[in-house]
Amino acid sequence: MYIIGLTGGIASGKSTITIALRELGAEIINADEISHRIIEPDQPAWQDIAASFGKEVLNEDLSINRAALGAIVFSDPARLQELNHITHPRVMERLRFELDAIRQKNPDAIVVMEIPLLYETHMDRLCNEVWVVWVDRETQIKRLMNRDQINYEDAVKRIDSQMPLDEKAARADRVIDNMLSVEETKVLATRYYIEIKQRDSSIN
C-alpha cells in the first residue's frame, strides 16, 4: 500500500485534487468527513463539545452549530486548542482504522489521506509522500471569504490558525500550484499519480 498525504491551507482547493484522484482509482480518506461524523449527536466528541462550549453551539436538533463553534474557537487560540484536544485524537483513531481496513481489502492500493492539519498532527509520518496544494495568501483569503461568506478579518483568523501554506509547501514532496485553471491543476495531479502508479507497478 502506498500512502499519499494530501494537505494545504483552508480553501486552497484540496477537494479538486481529491475528486481527480478518486476518478483515477485512488482510495480516499477524508479527515474533514471524519471530523463531521465524530461530532454527531450522542457521539463522545459531541458530548465533550457540548460540555465544554455550552448550549450556544447547539442547533435546535442538538447537532453542533459549526458556524457558532467556529466563531468562538477562531477568536480565541486557547478555545481552539481545547476543541482540538477533543477532536484530533478521535479523528486520528478513525483515520488509522480506515487505513487498516483498506490495507486488508487491497494491500496494493494507492491511498490518499486528505488531512488539512497533516503536519500539525504529525500524520505525515504515516505517509510515503506528501502533496501540498498551494495558492498565495490573498487568493486563499478571497476564496475563503467567498466560500464561507465571511469577512476579511474572520478569514485571516481562520487561515492564521493553521501552519503557513508556504511552510507546508517547503516541506512537501510535491507541490500542486492551484493558482492555475481547474483543468491544469487536474492534469498536474494526474501526472503525479500516474508516475507513482507506474513506479509502484515496476517495484512489484
Beta-bridge partner residues of 176: 133
pLDDT (tens digit, 0 to 9) for every residue of the chain, 204 residues total?
A: 999 999 998 888 898 899 999 999 999 999 999 999 999 998 999 999 999 999 999 999 999 999 999 999 999 999 999 999 999 999 999 999 999 999 999 999 999 999 999 999 999 999 999 999 999 999 999 999 999 999 999 999 999 999 999 999 999 999 999 998 889 999 999 999 999 988 866 545
40-54: per-residue pLDDT in tens? 998 999 999 999 999
How confident is the model at residue 191, as a pLDDT? 94
How confident is the model at residue 158, as a pLDDT? 92
Nearest Cα residue to 13 out of 193, 197, 186, 195:
186
Nearest Cα residue to 41 out of 22, 57, 30:
57
Distance between CA atoms of residues 135 and 30, nearest Å: 20
Nearest Cα residue to 34 out of 96, 121, 107, 119:
96
How confident is the model at residue 202, as a pLDDT? 55
How confident is the model at residue 182, as a pLDDT? 87
Residue extents of the structural domains in the chain: 2-203
Asked if 152 and 141 count as a contact pair (C-beta separation under 8 A), the reply is yes
pTM over 0.85? The answer is yes
How confident is the model at residue 201, as a pLDDT? 62
What is the maximum span of the chain, computed from C-alpha positions, in angstroms? Answer: 56
Give me the phi and psi of 79, to 5 degrees please.
Answer: -70, -35
Beta-bridge partner residues of 2: 110
Q: Specify the DSSP class assigned to residue 113.
A: E
User: 2-203 maps to which CATH number?
Assistant: 3.40.50.300
